[in-house]
Amino acid sequence: MILPNIIRNIHSAFLDVIFPRLCIACEKPLEQHEKFACSWCWQNILQVSPDDVTVRVLMRRFEEIGTIDRLFTPYYFEEEGVLQKIIHGLKYEGFTKLGVGLGEKIGELIVGENLPFRHECIVPIPLHRSKYRERGYNQSEYIARGIAETLSIHRIEVSAVKRVRATQSQTHLSVDKRKANIADAFRVMMPWKLKGKHVLLVDDVITTGATIGECARVIRESGAASVAVASAALAKLTI
């Protein structure tokens, strides 16, 4: 196994000379150990603290729903920021490895929490079939893969929950209108895969929590023992 690894490293180094890997944010050449963005750009992404107003507001909403137990998210999504470029590359430019990398960051965060139990399966927030046809993939599934690799979780359930209703964009809707827009948009198709399990529900960005809250509701009602939610980023509240 040592020789193939050496050959792979030489090949990778050769490609980096011919086609240098660039930071997706600042376009600076990446060092060998850097992924997608340079260390400086990663360090300048605004990180989430459990005491932040945004986290407290979201957790209050989740407590009102009564179906979400924990929230794991490492970063804030800022307009024109580094993370926006990473997530846009993932969602709209087909750079699915970015999703895996973000999932690894979430997985590292979860490892540091020293939870009293292991998540037994991961559910990526499903796309409606029309959106999936348009994009060709579900970005949340790639984030889930990165989490699964980091936490050694062997079950990513991509078919257990289905998005049964296409909804309008949530971007410019109020909190109440988002709830109405997303109501009954999800259905658990395979409840036996979730029943009694500690489920980790994964999205790319959480804004008001309406979408992930509605999906968590149907998962919990299907018999899941607990539902934690994870995202690459939160939209920062300005209150």
Q: What is the pLDDT along the chain (239 residues), one digit of tens a residue?
A: 444 444 444 433 433 444 468 888 888 999 988 888 899 988 889 999 989 999 999 999 899 888 899 999 999 998 888 999 999 999 999 899 999 999 999 999 999 887 878 899 999 999 999 999 999 999 999 999 999 999 999 999 999 999 998 776 666 666 677 677 778 899 999 999 999 999 999 999 999 899 999 999 999 999 999 999 999 999 987 65
Global pTM?
A: 0.85
Which pLDDT score is estimated for 103? 96
Tell me the residue range of the domain where 2 lies. Answer: 1-44
Residues 15 and 115 in one domain: no
Task: Write out the two tokens for 175.
Answer: 């909190």
Cα dihedral 179, 48, 102, 199 sign: negative
Residues 26 and 136 in one domain: no
Residues 54 and 34 in one domain: no
Residues 96 and 173 in one domain: yes
Which pLDDT score is estimated for 114? 78
Residues 120 and 225 in one domain: yes
Q: Are 172 and 201 in contact (CB under 8 A)?
A: no
Residues 13 and 64 in one domain: no
Residues 168 and 142 in one domain: yes
Element (H, E) at 235: strand 226-235
* Rg from Cα positions in the chain: 18
Cα dihedral 67, 70, 72, 76 sign: positive
Which pLDDT score is estimated for 12? 39
Residues 75 and 191 in one domain: yes
Which pLDDT score is estimated for 5? 42
Residue 159's CATH number: 3.40.50.2020
With H, G, I as helix, E, B as strand and everything else as coil, classify residue 230: strand
